[in-house]
Amino acid sequence: MALKLDIERGGPIGASGDSAAGKGCLTLFFMVFLGMGLAATAAVGFQAAREAAVWLWPKTPCLVRASGVDTTGDDAAPYQPTICFEYTVDGRSREGRTVSRGDLSSSIYDDARRIADRFPAGSRTACRINPEDPNEAVLEARPPFIAFAALLTLIFVAVGAGGLWMVWRPRRDDQGSATRSISQRAGGVSGAKVELVVGLIFTAVGGVLTVLLLVIPLARLALAANWVETPAEVISSTVRSWSTDDGTSHRADVLYTYEAGGRSWMSNRRSFFSLSSSDVDDCRDIVERYHEGRSVSCWVDPDDPSASVLDRAFRPVYLIGLFPLVFLIVGLALLAHSRRRRPSTIPGDPPTSFGGDTEVAAEVTLEPASGPVAKVIAMTVAALLWNGIVSIFVWQVVEGFRNGSPEWFLTLFMIPFVLVGVALIGGVLYAVLGVANPRPRLVIAPSSPRLGGRLRLSWTFSGAVGRIERLTMTLEGYEKATYRRGTDTTTDRDVFASTTLVDTASEWEIANGTAETDIPVDTMHSFRSDNNAVVWSIHVHGEVPRWPDVIEAFTLEVRPLSRRELLP
């Protein structure tokens, strides 16, 4: 822990034996990261260079002898285009079989077939010849998309190099003096900057994945509503299995054929959202359902007969795309919040004068921290997200019971999640009822009272104020400290001052009235920095029988003492 704190605060590492050992471990750890990243980046760069080099190769005419789709023998990507073409170099005829230097194998039959369809047998086209080896020729020069993989490998390089820099960076404040500078840490990585960076990452990753996993599949599903039902026959049905870092993945691969647009087509697209699974039994069920030789119906795009799908019904699996949507929403919320955060301020502080004596407005209408409509929106979004995700697994549970093979572990595991979902729905209803409540309007004078000064409050209610049975208003001052614990950001609050302004059950006093109080002089004025604050607020609580209470908080600015008040 001490070592971690030293790194975060920029203090010297190596001041003790423990931290010296930690420095060695960290160096080794980050060097492994850097080494892996560099090796992977070099491999990616080498392959990208190989693929890009094709653009410089000379072109020569060629004749396509054969074209089709073949299997690769790799269950992870079992299909690849196979094209045989003939070309002549130096008066000698040669045969080529390479479409491009990149890997064109795919788990989707249609992908391989589309490439093969671009080079039909008997057609004449141009191929590119390797000037250093005329026996190597390719039909296409493709952009080296593999270079994008470097974005991933460079993360390892950045973590490794950044970590080593953090461990070994020279420190300005630990040489020649026993005192370590605190002021050097001013203007460092503030909470707003962290929020901005994390928000950008979440928004970018969540946005891309939401488009890929939610928007595109659902859009395709919607477009397929106009596709034409067409007879088809399953010609091959098998469970594909391959090893991954997490074990073995499986996919049911159902290859079917159909007639459309005057020719025969093959495809293995079962739905618009296809995921591999770790559950081989699910895949076997699908293979049994679509067994070889079975006559089925597929849905064909009338504008593009090569596009088809076996199942165009909406399935719960499409909701998996809600996961990245959560990331996107969190990212956008972080970005919005980082924009709302003001920089650290010194209250009333023009640099050339004593800011504590500046004039303020006579009175001001306070804004509630969050209105009832905002509460409804927040609760609804939370309930939709939570229950949308939970419903996917609840569906699995229900399906298990319907099929006579209940998944008991999943059922028990889901109970607390479902209860939270029900509570959130209850919260939405509670918030909706709260919208119908009377709304308080608070005016204070002066607009920014001083410590020790008089605060005059006047209030009115809009709406059915007669429903409020009892009204209390409390002026509170509290500390607010935000800190990070692991990956979580937590905010603690602690009240140091509390004064009851109003406590009445009188109907006419509830409807409108005034109250006065002195701000305690021996406390702290309002203050706010990136992670710490002293907040003064008026808490309104109206008790409504058999209905959600009126509960709102209004923040006000309490200023320091004026210079005149300070001097004897």
Partner 1 sequence: MSELRIDLDGNRSHFLPGDDVAGRVVWRLTEPSEALELRLFWHTSGKGTEDVVIARSHRFDAPGTYGEQEFRFRLPAGPYSFSGTLITLAWSLELVSLPGEGTERVDIVVAPTPVEVRLQSLGRPPKSEIIRIGPVRR
Question: Which residues between 184 and 203 bind partner 1 (CB under 8 A)?
Answer: 184-188, 191
Which of the stretches 17-25, 354-362, 408-416, 457-465 binds partner 1 when contact is defined by CB under 8 A?
Answer: 354-362
Residues 6+ apart with CB under 8 A from 430: 379, 548
Contact 322, 388 (CB under 8 A): yes
111 binds partner 1 (CB under 8 A): no
Contact 139, 96 (CB under 8 A): yes
Contact 492, 481 (CB under 8 A): yes
Shortest distance in whole angstroms from residue 388 CB to partner 1: 24
Shortest distance in whole angstroms from residue 378 CB to partner 1: 14
Residues numbered 1 to 60 that lie near partner 1 (CB under 8 A) are 9
Which of the stretches 43-51, 83-91, 323-331, 353-361 binds partner 1 when contact is defined by CB under 8 A?
Answer: 353-361
Contact 14, 20 (CB under 8 A): yes
User: What's the distance, CA 430 to chain centroid?
Assistant: 29
70 binds partner 1 (CB under 8 A): no
142 binds partner 1 (CB under 8 A): no
Residue 283, CB-side half-sphere exposure with 13 Å CA sphere: 19
355 binds partner 1 (CB under 8 A): yes
State which residue, 354 or 413, has the beta carbon closest to partner 1: 354
Contact 352, 394 (CB under 8 A): no
Phi, psi of 240 (to 5 degrees): -90, 135
CA separation for the pair 357, 354 (Å, rounded): 7
CA separation for the pair 134, 141 (Å, rounded): 16
Residues numbered 452 to 481 that lie near partner 1 (CB under 8 A) are 474, 476, 478-481
Question: What strands, in cross-sheet order, belong to the sheet with 454-462?
Answer: 364-365, 439-445, 454-462, 512-518
Given candidates 70, 117, 173, 311, which one binds partner 1 under the rule CB under 8 A? Answer: 173
Distance set, CA 143 to CA 98, 105, 115, 152 (Å): 16, 16, 15, 18
State which residue, 331 or 560, has the beta carbon closest to partner 1: 560
Residues 6+ apart with CB under 8 A from 179: 173
State which residue, 270 or 559, has the beta carbon closest to partner 1: 559
State which residue, 183 or 405, has the beta carbon closest to partner 1: 183
Given candidates 332, 364, 539, 557, which one binds partner 1 under the rule CB under 8 A? Answer: 539
State which residue, 291 or 484, has the beta carbon closest to partner 1: 484
506 binds partner 1 (CB under 8 A): no
State which residue, 403 or 532, has the beta carbon closest to partner 1: 532
Given candidates 210, 308, 338, 537, which one binds partner 1 under the rule CB under 8 A? Answer: 537
Query: Residue 118, SS3?
Result: helix
Q: What is the DSSP letter of 554?
A: E
Shortest distance in whole angstroms from residue 70 CB to partner 1: 59
553 binds partner 1 (CB under 8 A): yes
Residue 273, CB-side half-sphere exposure with 13 Å CA sphere: 23
Instruction: Using DSSP bridges, classify how beta strands 124-130 and 247-260 pair: parallel, antiparallel or unpaired.
Output: unpaired
Size of the site for partner 1 (CB under 8 A): 73
State which residue, 128 or 559, has the beta carbon closest to partner 1: 559
Given candidates 276, 277, 460, 482, which one binds partner 1 under the rule CB under 8 A? Answer: 482
Given candidates 151, 182, 225, 362, which one binds partner 1 under the rule CB under 8 A? Answer: 182
State which residue, 278 or 506, has the beta carbon closest to partner 1: 506
State which residue, 55 or 354, has the beta carbon closest to partner 1: 354
State which residue, 486 or 545, has the beta carbon closest to partner 1: 545
Given candidates 23, 118, 180, 294, which one binds partner 1 under the rule CB under 8 A? Answer: 180
Q: Indicate if the alpha-carbon torsion angle 460, 461, 465, 471 is positive or negative.
A: negative
Which of the stretches 64-72, 148-156, 228-236, 525-533 binds partner 1 when contact is defined by CB under 8 A?
Answer: 525-533
251 binds partner 1 (CB under 8 A): no
Shortest distance in whole angstroms from residue 495 CB to partner 1: 5
Distance set, CA 281 to CA 247, 287, 293, 319 (Å): 15, 10, 21, 22
